[in-house]
Amino acid sequence: MAVYWRIFLSASLVNICCTASRKPQDAKRIGIIGGGIGGCASSLFLRDALRNDAYIVVYEAENISGRVRSVKLKGNEYEAGGSIFHEKNELCQRLVKRFGLKTLKDEDDNNNQGTLINYGSKVLFRSSDWSVFNAMKAFYRYGFSPLKLKPWVDDYITKFARIYDLFGRNCSYSRPSDLMFAADAELVDMFFLSLTDAMRKAGFGELFITEVAGAAMRVNYNQETSVPAFVGSISLAGMEGPLHRVKGGNEQLPHLACRSADTISPTRVVSVKLLNDTRFQLVDDAGQTDTFDFVVLASPLVRDRTNVEFIGFPVHFTAGDWVGSYQTTVATFVEGW
């Protein structure tokens, strides 16, 4: 059973490149499938923990940084995915400081923007330049629900932030739910409760849930308030802030973190085979084969995105048993005059 613990599941360059030579004969070989923020961060944290005792290979067929990327229009750079992070996100804050980067508050670019909630052509709520008038309009339509939002979201952020202390003490868990339970048992319930039900339970009005929380879910995830409450509460945190982004683009974080890897292979892993000596054999779409002591699976664990065949593993450890699909959202940028 212990052998299966050595496949780590992580939350999520055009050419092969190598960093300084550090391939001692007794170094542990680690293969990371996926070069998004999860895979790149895994590479960095493993390098910190193992130093020269690890030889790390990251497999990424598309682009390093995954969905965290930006676009440039007329000399200006705009975040296109993974555009902001909350101030309480300690891992992002640490990476920013470590790499000597600077952050900008998201409000810096949005001081003159208002709020508009509409259903088709019908305007449901529109804010104005007068804060007192906005408060009156919000109370008239939503009652006390707007006042409840920040304390409710802050409570979950505080509970979730306890994981950073667990990380600092090098605690490890076999499942994400075990980690959440160690932080606070209520967080586990949020995995199985919809955002709608969780907000009803907390006393939010139906109109507020449908219009305000619903708008946040559509903008952030292109989904409804039927999403798990854990996901939804984190999304609602983006409405309250404080929110930050990295000056020069958030994609700098995964790119800089991935420099900790020894090799970045621009290929897609098609199969992982458990060998008799408890190591793992990876085959990529270029037909290349490599063997590793440990494997990190840092790609979406859903049927329509993880096209990796697992050979020699227990029957239940197959992509066919994973549920759900990857939700696509589209960001459109239009260049003006």
Q: Check pLDDT > 50 for residue 3.
A: no
User: Are 35 and 3 within 8 A, CB to CB?
Assistant: no
List, for residues 128-143, the tens digit of each pLDDT value.
655 776 778 888 888 9
pLDDT at 229 exceeding the cut of 50:
yes
pLDDT value of residue 42:
96
Quick one: tokens of 2?
């212990």
**Is 239 exposed, middle or buried, given 0-12, 13-18 or 19+ CB atoms closer than 10 A?**
middle
User: Quick one: what percent of the chain has pLDDT higher than 70?
Assistant: 81
Residue 19's pLDDT is 41
Calculate ∠ Cα 205-207-212, nearest 5°.
100
pLDDT, residue 332, reads: 85
Residue 257 near residue 44, CB atoms below 8 Å:
yes
What is the predicted pLDDT for the residue at 318? 65
Provide the 8-state DSSP code for 174: S
Instruction: Identify the residue with better confidence: 103 or 22.
Output: 103
Grade residue 77 by pLDDT with cuts at 50, 70 and 90: confident
Residues 152-164 have a mean pLDDT of 93
Domain ranges of the chain: 2-66+251-321, 110-242
Q: For residues 315, 317, 322 and 328, what is the CA-based torsion angle, rounded to 10 degrees?
A: -140
Mean local confidence (pLDDT), 176-180: 91
Give residue 314's pLDDT band: very low, low, confident or very high (50, 70, 90). Answer: confident
What was the pLDDT predicted at 127?
A: 67
The pair of three-digit structure tokens given for residue 332, joined into one six-digit string? 């459109």
pTM: 0.83
Average pLDDT estimate for 130-158: 85
Contacts of residue 2, defined as CB under 8 A and 6 or more positions apart, other chains included, come to none
Residue 184 has pLDDT above 80, yes or no: yes
In eight-state DSSP terms, residue 81 is E
* Confidence grade of residue 1 (pLDDT, cut at 50, 70, 90): very low
DSSP state of 191: H
Pick from 21, 89, 125: nearest CA to 238: 89
CATH architecture of structural domain 2-66+251-321: 3-Layer(bba) Sandwich (3.50)
pLDDT tops 60 at residue 22: no
Distance CA 49, CA 292 (A): 18
Relative to beta strand 263-265, strand 69-73 is unpaired
The average pLDDT across 176-198 equals 93
Q: What number of other Cβ atoms are within 10 A of residue 180's Cβ?
A: 22
**What pLDDT score was predicted for residue 147?**
92
